[in-house]
Amino acid sequence: MNTAIRLKLAKRLRELRKRKSLTQEQLSELSGVDYKHIQLLESNKASAAKLDTIEKLAKAFSISPSELLKF
């Protein structure tokens, strides 16, 4: 995953999480994605996000994976 895409994903995750008034810990509980991985994704420090991670996060936001990646 290139840097520009990672940065867009980081911004999108943060935007959606804040829109739902969730903490990173709450999103972790809802999605089943490790809290530390969510931190890394939002801070653009994760090397990539696996498809299953994208699917879990999208489900937690009640959106499709394609909507999560709409940026």
CATH superfamily membership of 3-69: lambda repressor-like DNA-binding domains (1.10.260.40)
Report how far residue 1's alpha carbon sits from residue 24's, in angstroms, rounded to the nearest whole number. Answer: 22
pLDDT in tens, 36-55: 999 999 999 988 889 999 99
pLDDT higher for 46 or 21?
A: 21
Asked if the model's pLDDT at residue 3 lies above 90, the reply is: no
- The answer to whether 1 and 53 have CB atoms below 8 angstroms apart is no
- Tell me what pLDDT residue 33 has: 98
Sorted by where each begins, the domain ranges of the chain are 3-69
| String of DSSP letters for 36-71 | HHHHHHHTT-SS---HHHHHHHHHHTTS-HHHHT--
pLDDT for position 47: 84
**What values do phi and psi take at 14, rounded to 5?**
-60, -45
